[in-house]
Amino acid sequence: MSHVPFDFPAFRETYQRDGVVWPIRLFEPEEANALAGQYKVFQERAKETRGREIYIKPHLVSTWVDAIAHNPFLLDIVEAAIGPDILLWSSDFFVKTARAGKYVCWHQDTPYWELTPVDNIVNIWLALTPSTLESGCMQAVKGTHVMRDIVHGRTGFASRDEQANKTSDNLLAYEQELSLNIRDEDVANLVLSPGEFSVHHGHLVHGGRPNQADFDRVGLVLRYISTDTRQSRDSDAAMLMRGRDIHGHYDLEPRPTADFDATSLAVLADSLNRPSGFFDTVVA
Ligand SMILES: O=C(O)CCC(=O)C(=O)O
């Protein structure tokens, strides 16, 4: 892992103004390629031990994903965005399969995450494979994080039945398309090389087109919140990453000490039944 000296004041200014900052390098390309290989091994082990792949909260059962989430430089960036008391609320492998036609509709994250206040919610999107216009990189409209809640087709978490019976090409389980006219000239393409990441505010309008490349586009997304952020839907779980949690809004998850061991799998099973696991228990 390596990174060049970083201008934190400039980062903070851009993040506050635009709600999004990219690209920032975390890994050298060859390190990122190795991680893309580890991703494949991870999913093979997930299928063997659990009967299906794992997309939500992989950091709970994988020491290498947990190590990325704890990377000190990443946490310095997160701290510059949301302050020193940091929880990892959720994480996911966001995969756009080659030529599968799946897209991500324009949305803000927070209206369906049911977290308040929204200002201290920040996402890190780390590219493990090239994330380009062709492979369906994330797209965003700068500055929309200050628009607060824009009306969506719907808000709130999808029920288990909805998740199980979903048929559209929209990769979001919730179909929370924004009712907003977005002009092409306002769209920023968050192009990333393997090992680079973007940072986006929970209220930023973002989405993305289908992957037309001949490889799967894989991103690891880490969703951090400050410890004072509340979940209004249900009891929730998160991992303390830095600083102190004097609020006690979340059951604190332990770090995995081994990959896919019984303890970490039990922690994952519990968390997937909660909002931060997006109730991802469709297939037991
Ligand atoms: O991976 C993508 O293209 C979309 C990701 C996204 O919507 C998110 O991380 O909030």
How far does residue 246's CA lie from ligand 1's centre (Å)?
A: 30
Q: Whose CA is nearest to atom 2 of ligand 1?
A: 138
Q: Mean per-residue pLDDT for 176-183?
A: 74
Assess whether pLDDT exceeds 70 at residue 115: yes
Contact, 264 vs 60, CB < 8 A? yes
Assess whether pLDDT exceeds 90 at residue 104: no
Q: Mean per-residue pLDDT for 156-184?
A: 68
Assess whether pLDDT exceeds 90 at residue 259: yes
- 76-80, 129-133, 173-177, 247-251: range with lowest mean pLDDT: 173-177
Assess whether pLDDT exceeds 70 at residue 134: yes
Looking at residue 283, its pLDDT comes to 43
For ligand 1, mutation pick of 97, 138, 145, 190 (most atoms within 8 Å of CB): 138
Looking at residue 163, its pLDDT comes to 61
Contact, 96 vs 102, CB < 8 A? yes
Q: Mean per-residue pLDDT for 136-145?
A: 96
Q: What is the pTM of this model?
A: 0.93
Which amino acid is it at 254?
P
Q: Mean per-residue pLDDT for 116-138?
A: 96
More confident residue, 78 or 99: 78
Assess whether pLDDT exceeds 80 at residue 169: no
CATH of the domain at 190: 2.60.120.620
- Per-residue pLDDT band at 182 (split at 50, 70, 90): confident
Strand ordering across the sheet containing 104-107: 104-107, 205-208, 139-141, 187-189
Q: Whose CA is nearest to atom 4 of ligand 1?
A: 138
Assess whether pLDDT exceeds 60 at residue 2: no
How far does residue 28's CA lie from ligand 1's centre (Å)?
A: 22
The residues pairing with 242 across neighbouring beta strands, listed in sequence order, are 86
Query: What does pLDDT average to over the chain?
Result: 90
Q: Whose CA is nearest to atom 9 of ligand 1?
A: 221
Residue 6 lies in a domain: no
For ligand 1, mutation pick of 206, 212, 220, 224 (most atoms within 8 Å of CB): 206
Assess whether pLDDT exceeds 50 at residue 31: yes
Assess whether pLDDT exceeds 80 at residue 25: yes
Structural domain span for residue 187? 18-272
Contact, 203 vs 68, CB < 8 A? no
Cα 55 from chain centre: 10
- Per-residue pLDDT band at 149 (split at 50, 70, 90): low
Burial tier of 64 (Cβ tally within 10 Å: 0-12, 13-18, 19+): middle
Assess whether pLDDT exceeds 70 at residue 266: yes
- CA-to-CA distance for 150 and 118, rounded, in angstroms? 13
How far does residue 176's CA lie from ligand 1's centre (Å)?
A: 13
Q: What is the DSSP string of the chain?
A: -------HHHHHHHHHHHSEEEEEE-S-HHHHHHHHHHHHHHHHHHHHHHSS---B-GGGT-HHHHHHHT-HHHHHHHHHHH-S-EEEEEEEEEEE-TT---BEEEE-SHHHHTEESSTTEEEEEEESS-B-TTTT--EEETTGGGG-PPPBS--SPPPHHHHHT--SSBSSTT---B-----GGGEEE--B-TTEEEEEETT-EEEE----SSS-EEEEEEEEEETTPEESSS-EEEEEEES---S--EEEPPPPSSTT-HHHHHHHHHHTTSGGGTT--S--
Assess whether pLDDT exceeds 60 at residue 154: no
- Per-residue pLDDT band at 102 (split at 50, 70, 90): confident
Is the beta carbon of 202 within 6 A of some atom in ligand 1?
no
Q: Mean per-residue pLDDT for 224-236?
A: 94
Q: Structurally, how many domains does the chain consist of?
A: 1
Assess whether pLDDT exceeds 70 at residue 15: yes
Assess whether pLDDT exceeds 70 at residue 282: no
Looking at the chain, the whole-number percentage of residues with pLDDT higher than 90 is 73
Residue 279 lies in a domain: no
How far does residue 270's CA lie from ligand 1's centre (Å)?
A: 24
Residue 284 lies in a domain: no
Residue 189 lies in a domain: yes
How far does residue 33's CA lie from ligand 1's centre (Å)?
A: 20
How far does residue 151's CA lie from ligand 1's centre (Å)?
A: 19
Neighbours of 167 (CB within 10 A): 5
Is the beta carbon of 111 within 6 A of some atom in ligand 1?
no
Residue 96 lies in a domain: yes
Please enumerate in sequence order all residues whose Cβ is within 8 A of that of 104, keeping only pairs 6 or more positions apart, or say none.
138, 170, 171, 172, 206, 207, 208
